[in-house]
Amino acid sequence: MDSKLFLHPVTKLMTIIFIMVTSFFVFFLLGYVLAVPLFGHSFQELSVLLSGKGQQLHPNILKYFQILQSLGLFVIPPFIAARFLSQQPAEYLGFRYPPNAWSLLTVVVLIFVSLPLINFLAQVNQSIDLPDQFGSLERWLMNREENARQMTDRFLRVHTPAGLAVNLLMVAVLPALGEELLFRGVIQRIFAEWTRSVHWGIVIAAFLFSALHVQFYGLIPRMFLGVLFGYLLVWSGSMWLPVLAHFVNNASAVVYYYVVQDESAFSSAGDDLFGEHLAGVVFSVVMVGLCCYLVYITGRNQVMQKNHY
């Protein structure tokens, strides 16, 4: 019996937070040192630029630190935590059952047919008006949304295949792997154990996943995706399904932006495919339900077959 599994969920949560903070600072400091020869800036110049007091930071430097942040904060900590929390880290993170080709294809279809529903949830989220007494908060949230939109535009506005590859690594590959390992592989498991409910574990991890982005007007659709990714892991027993779903969702946005060179265009991608009418949303809901059912059935049969042998 793995004695590490008897640690209290609070202890496990504190462990992963400590590992995340430590890993982030280690990667940031190492990256800070390497940035001097890479970009030709002194430590003092980098400090001024990163503090926002100097001239606008070059997109390549921003991307460099964004990649380091993804590695230090999301990708590496789950592997370290799994070593501390379990004697079988690969199984702990959800790598016990490799998915079959049918499940992978279903997940790809699932993401694309969910676009109208996600766009609808985004419209609902954006229509929320806070009470008058929270007017200053609402203005702050809207400013953050605008800053995030401008940052996204600076990140994604590239015109070469090499630039596209870097954006895919930064926006799709690393977040898909790191965020799913952290939120679904570790945090979801911890809260499921704490609440003694898989469903509450999924919901809480999805909320934290969405809240971490600090974008109120994307909270609902992002939380929906977090819940969807959480159930993909539970139904299939394989981390690769939520990782693939997350990757396809982010990569499609990056590629779409690369083609049209318009950050706002992707928000209407689902409308272009299915229309703005209720029928398109209903169709999306039905197709999402069907794909989820197929993933559930396929995953259950696969687990039963492996346990039988």
Dig out the tokens for 234 from the structure.
């539970």
Residue 4 — very low, low, confident or very high, per pLDDT cuts 50/70/90?
low
Average pLDDT of span 243-271:
77
At 295, give phi and psi (nearest 5°). Answer: -65, -40
Q: Which range, of 27-31, 44-48, 204-208, 243-247, averages the lowest pLDDT?
A: 44-48
Dig out the tokens for 46 from the structure.
């980098």
The H-assigned helical ranges of the chain are 9-39, 43-51, 59-70, 76-85, 89-92, 101-113, 115-126, 135-156, 161-167, 174-179, 188-195, 198-211, 219-236, 240-260, 269-274, 278-308
pLDDT in tens, 154-186: 778 888 999 999 999 999 999 999 999 999 999
113 or 214, greater pLDDT: 113
Q: Are 237 and 94 in contact (CB under 8 A)?
A: yes
Nearest to 92 by CA among 110, 101, 79: 79
Rounded to the nearest integer, the mean pLDDT of the chain is 85
Question: What Å distances lie between residue 233 and 201, 300, 308, CA to CA?
Answer: 12, 12, 21
Amino acid type, 44: Q
**What percentage of residues in the chain have a pLDDT greater than 90?**
53
Residue 33 has pLDDT above 50, yes or no: yes
The pLDDT of residue 262 is: 58
174 or 54, greater pLDDT: 174
Q: How many CB atoms lie within 10 A of CB 224?
A: 19
- CA atoms of 4 and 13, how far apart (whole Å): 13
Amino acid type, 206: A
State CA 47 to chain mean position distance. Answer: 28
Residue 41 has pLDDT above 80, yes or no: no
153 or 29, greater pLDDT: 29
For the entire predicted model, the pTM comes to: 0.87
Residue 129 — very low, low, confident or very high, per pLDDT cuts 50/70/90?
confident
User: DSSP character for 239?
Assistant: T
